[in-house]
Structure 1
């Protein structure tokens, strides 16, 4: 099933996207963006202060009964897609994921305080996704106010700039819980990766003090939610680079005619356009699955979205470089930055082959699983292919 939106909902979403887009263009206009990325790195602190503090995009995903705006996932997906299209160097992806994780936790002083500070734009929260049902990257010990966690994980989005890191960890009894750890109790190291527009870090905890926020987190559903959010980012990358390629093909004249008039170019861009339309449909379906679908429907939708959106982004960014010819390969142009973002998204939380395998397993009858964590539904997170 595909999520439908009314004309009023679409109009409201357009206003929201236009507001965010204006804020982005004010501090990070397209002109000179590549230079700023190389000069300032993968985090634009001023832009995030504007978006989180003044515009208030952090409050969108927080439920109204927890102090936020309680926006629909359709609106949140639209903002994620826009920020992907703009290659914005802000921790909104990690904020959306953390907010979903915190909203899944029962109301408590600790969880509600984190949500309130996210709403106010005062806090960056990163989340370490679970690596597998059998071999978690973190372990928890103790109880009450004496809980500590230990472990290490790499390729954690925005951990190096986060104030708090959320981790899933099994306790001594085998039950998997959600814990918050203050950044000051962790060792974080920013990684040198292919994508220069996103912060990826290695996080290490050595008996770091932690707070148990949720003794029974919906691990599988939260992980699928994160895949949908990442798919929105990839959709934005694919849509923008297709638009850029079409615009350039229509204006670049060679042999007395626009290069877009040549059959080979037209066919290649048409194939990209089909891939982008498929990505839009997959995201719309995934948004419906998050808000209204069963766990099984969401898992299927998340796997499809990961496959389709990654393919669209990879195709669109590669063709954008080719259509732009010589300038598409230069360091100063943004084409390679989009390509690098697409490469990273395609393997960040699972490769296309792994998502396809999971989709097959979801469709096929599976034998009953036994053992600790058998119902969590987490799948392995690969750590290969991101380093430059």
Structure 2
């Protein structure tokens, strides 16, 4: 019971904070430079001061020692509030690999940095290696006590605001394509590293990252050389769970905005929500939203019960169901708003822009369905 009460207190505190800091459109516009900036470092630093960035990081590294469930609540409430904190979920996911496979020195340095407000990025995808990351060719060559990195990464979230980038590089091509890949912690200001933003409908989110003879110490290897792919596979559960929590928050906000609109917008002498066609649509969306909430937090509970357990089926179900629902919620919301939803006066157009891509990144819906199907022996 105490744990439940504590978690309720966490949620109430988060909601109070976000309502105070970005509860109005005017506040959000100021924090995001009128919608063009997706991450406000000043607001992010306030989360760090309150201890929420490190809520799921062990206390010995400066965190709160909380659970995956706690982290889900933090990112869900941030997403619901429309706070410009794009680096939040990305950093929490990136820190998971370090926590599980890093050295004690790396954990103190990197995880401590996250707790203090540093943003992390992880670079996996390449122009020719998206859904098939085993085809990556970005290379790191061992030279004495250093690695020299050359190549390109693409679609890298938060690289433009990160203090360090965890780069997956090919260090050996002699074995299977998923072997011989090594994760290296690279300072974002390393000589020879160039970040070029990719313009998207969602704003400044993703980037191309180029490496030209970027040289770092061999002590920056995270985990075992040549085994990074197997390491990252064991942490994708957290990635997909956090993605689910983000879009659970966004779907909730989209639903609430739509509900408020149909409750107040009048046509033919009464609120449009009182018409059966719309009332039934709201009922369906509310039911889907509740299914998503239960799926996210039941999966988080399984991860908390056994942090080392691999739950690819449940994690992929979360990613698939919640993102598809968030996208549907935004499309339905636009229809319920009518022409008003297409204007910049309301947030519905933003919900659509930012939800439409959710079924693509962090593993497409097609990839998630394939993983789920294979988990049943198919």
Is the TM-score greater than 0.5? Answer: yes
Highest relative contact order (Cα 8 Å, sep 6+), 1 or 2? 1
The match for 1:180 is 185
Aligned to 1:201: 207
Contact 2:263/2:272 (<8 A) preserved? yes
Q: CA deviation at 1:326?
A: 2.5
Equivalent residue for 2:168?
168
Tell me which of 232, 239, 245 is aligned to 2:258: 245
Q: Secondary structure at the match of 1:148?
A: strand
**Is 1:194–1:344's contact at 8 Å kept on the other side of the alignment?**
no
Q: CA deviation at 1:181?
A: 0.4
- Cα distance, 1:154 vs. partner? 1.7
The match for 2:350 is 337
CA distance in 2, matches of 1:23, 1:201: 30
The answer for the alignment partner of 2:234 in structure 1 is 221
Whether the 8 Å CA contact 1:320–1:328 is kept in 2: the answer is yes
The corresponding residue for 2:291 is 278
Of stretches 156-165 and 240-249 in structure 1, the one that deviates more from structure 2 is 240-249
Alignment of 1:360 with 2:378, yes or no, is no
Instruction: Kindly state the Cα deviation for residue 342 of structure 1 after the two structures are TM-superposed.
Output: 0.8
Paired residue for 1:89, among 76, 84, 108? 84
The aligned residue for residue 128 of structure 1 is 123
In the alignment, the residues of structure 2 paired with residue 143 and residue 329 of structure 1 have an alpha-carbon distance, to the nearest angstrom, of 55
Taking the aligned partners of 1:75 and 1:290, their CA distance within structure 2 comes to 12
> SS of 1:150's equivalent?
strand
More moved, 319-328 vs 35-44: 35-44
Shift of 1:201: 1.4
Q: Is the contact made by 1:93 and 1:230 (CA closer than 8 Å) also made in structure 2?
A: yes
Cα drift, residue 30 of structure 1: 2.7
In the aligned structure 2, how far is the partner of 1:143 from the partner of 1:74?
42
Q: Which runs of 5+ in 1 are unaligned?
A: 1-6, 366-388
CA contact (8 A) 1:34 1:332 kept: no
Unpaired segments ≥5 residues, structure 2:
none
1:356-383 Cα distance to aligned partner (Å, 9 max, x none): 1221122116xxxxxxxxxxxxxxxxxx
> Which residue, 4, 12, 25 being the options, matches 1:18?
12
Please report how far the alpha carbon of residue 34 of structure 1 lies from its aligned counterpart in structure 2 after TM superposition: 6.3
TM superposition shift of 1:175: 3.1
| Alpha carbons 2:98, 2:106 under 8 Å: kept | no
- Over 3 Å counting, the alpha-carbon distance change for 1:294 and 1:19 in structure 2 is closer
2:166 and 2:185 in contact (8 A); partners too:
yes
| C-alpha spacing 1:298/1:289, structure 2 compared with 1 (3 Å) | farther
* Number of corresponding residues: 356
Match of 1:60 among 52, 55, 62: 55
By how many angstroms is 1:75 displaced? 0.9
Deviation at 1:97, TM superposition (A): 0.8
Helix, strand or coil for the counterpart of 2:56? coil
State the 1:67 CA deviation.
3.1
> Is 1:8 aligned with 2:2?
yes
Q: In the alignment, what sits opposite 2:73?
A: 78
TM-score in terms of structure 1 length: 0.85
2:320 and 2:215 mapped to 1: Cα distance? 38
1:134/1:326 CA distance change after superposition, 3 Å: closer
Match of 1:189 in 2: 196
2: CA distance between counterparts of 1:184 and 1:191?
A: 19
CA distance 1:138–1:111, shift in 2 (3 Å): farther
Following superposition, the deviation at residue 314 of structure 1 comes to 1.0
* Counterparts of 2:138 and 2:289, CA distance in 1: 37
How big is the alpha-carbon RMSD for the aligned residues of Structure 1 and Structure 2?
2.2
Instruction: Check whether the contact 1:82–1:236 (CA below 8 A) recurs between aligned residues.
Output: yes
Give the Cα separation in 2 of the matches to 1:144 and 1:292.
Answer: 42
Aligned residue for 2:369, secondary structure, equals helix
Deviations along 1:262-281, whole A, 9 cap, x unmatched? Answer: 11101111221121112112
Measure, in 1, the Cα distance between the counterparts of 2:101 and 2:358: 27
| CA-CA distance at 1:222 after TM superposition | 1.2
Distance 2:271 2:133 in 1: 54
